[in-house]
Amino acid sequence: MSEWKQCKWKNLQGIYSENERLSVVILPELGGKIASLYYKPQMFELAAQYSKESYELPSLDADFSLYDASGLDDTFPNIDANTINYQGKELVYPDHGEIWSSPLDYEIKNDSISFFYRSRRFPYSYEKEVSLEEDALVLRYRIINEKTEPFPCIWTFHGLFRYEEDMKLIFPDKVKQFIKIFESPLVGDQYTCKSINIPPRNSNAMGKYYVDGKVDQGYCGYYYPKQRVQCLLKYDPVKLPYIGIWITAGGYRGDYNCALEPSNGFYDDVEIARKNGCLFFLEPNQPLEFSLRIEVNALN
């Protein structure tokens, strides 16, 4: 059983836990951001790190691009900022949603920690429970619609992992094609591509992609050959049927990170997802409950 304790992480209060294989640091003031996921056997940090000495705390409607792009976040109820008209009401979705920029209440239990958030703008409450197992960090979610009409929304795991030039991306066996969301030097001018290559360091490249269509196997991940470390994200593909992919090798603000992003909407923008027929509606009295397991192992 792993105990959770308070700690200091840069300029913020963190919550820390560890076992023989893994250690983790979470920042309640930054939406429950997982600031560190460290694999002890290989002395290897998996979470993309923030290069500055201190974090700035964003406001609710902050521009994500002006703040740190590091660690493992949740984006809900959207990614790209936009405004839609829905059932005679104007819904204004902030950049990368509300969770990343909001301080979360929390409760430490014997072997887990639960984070809580209630939106002041939208009709939902949000709970994330985090526990540390022998070789995995387990995230369990419960999102409740507190009103009487369906709420259009997208949940996406915004986990920014460590970039390494030789890293490999792992996808379900049946994935054969990807959709490019915007222009990138990674794959030329084709709208679809058969594979995604990790760009070389200092290539000034970045790219955003999605797996073409829904997946029916709930896993994706990373392999770091030099360190012989594999990290797998495991989840229910019925709850999270889409996978986004983000890579930057200096192309975005000079950052280096990579994110595989299981999601329940395609893609990023609530209005785009609605036009695509791929928008999730959080129904009253039907909580959205799901889990994400982040497993880390050394391979020979």
Give the integer Cα–Cα distance in Å for 195 and 211.
Answer: 10
> Taking a C-beta distance cutoff of 8 angstroms, is the pair 77, 153 a contact?
yes
> Taking a C-beta distance cutoff of 8 angstroms, is the pair 237, 218 a contact?
yes
Q: Which pairs from 11-20 meet CB under 8 Å and 24+ separation?
A: 11/53, 11/54, 11/55, 12/55, 15/106, 15/108, 15/113, 17/113, 17/132, 18/132, 19/132, 19/133, 19/134, 20/134
In this prediction, residue 2 carries a pLDDT of 77
> Taking a C-beta distance cutoff of 8 angstroms, is the pair 166, 53 a contact?
no
Average pLDDT, the chain: 94
Burial of 292 (C-beta count, 10 Å sphere; 0-12/13-18/19+): buried
The region, left, alpha or beta by phi > 0 then psi within -120 to 50, assigned to residue 75 is beta
Mean pLDDT of the region 205-222? 95
Of the chain, the percentage scoring pLDDT greater than 90 comes to 88
pLDDT in tens, 67-119: 999 999 999 999 999 999 998 899 999 999 999 999 999 999 889 999 999 99
In this prediction, residue 193 carries a pLDDT of 85
Strand 280-282 and strand 112-118: the pairing is unpaired
- Which ranges constitute the DSSP H helices of the chain? 270-275
Which residues partner with 127 through β-bridges? 116, 142
Of the chain, the percentage scoring pLDDT greater than 70 comes to 97
pLDDT in tens, 142-165: 999 999 899 999 999 999 999 999
Banded pLDDT at 7 (limits 50, 70, 90) = very high
| pTM confidence score | 0.94
> Taking a C-beta distance cutoff of 8 angstroms, is the pair 36, 54 a contact?
no
Banded pLDDT at 28 (limits 50, 70, 90) = very high
The domain 5-298 is placed in CATH, from the list 2.40.50.100, 2.102.10.10, 3.40.50.720, 2.70.98.10, at 2.70.98.10
In this prediction, residue 183 carries a pLDDT of 53
Give the integer Cα–Cα distance in Å for 196 and 265.
Answer: 21
In eight-state DSSP terms, residue 134 is S
Q: pLDDT at residue 190 above 80?
A: no
Banded pLDDT at 181 (limits 50, 70, 90) = confident
Give the integer Cα–Cα distance in Å for 300 and 297.
Answer: 10
Banded pLDDT at 1 (limits 50, 70, 90) = low
Element of type H or E holding 233: strand 229-235
Q: pLDDT at residue 175 above 70?
A: yes
Task: Determine the residue type at 58.
Answer: P
Give the integer Cα–Cα distance in Å for 121 and 239.
Answer: 24
pLDDT in tens, 221-279: 999 999 999 999 999 999 999 999 999 999 999 999 999 999 999 999 999 999 999 99
Q: pLDDT at residue 185 above 60?
A: no
Burial of 112 (C-beta count, 10 Å sphere; 0-12/13-18/19+): middle
Which residues partner with 140 through β-bridges? 129, 291
> Taking a C-beta distance cutoff of 8 angstroms, is the pair 262, 245 a contact?
no
In this prediction, residue 188 carries a pLDDT of 47
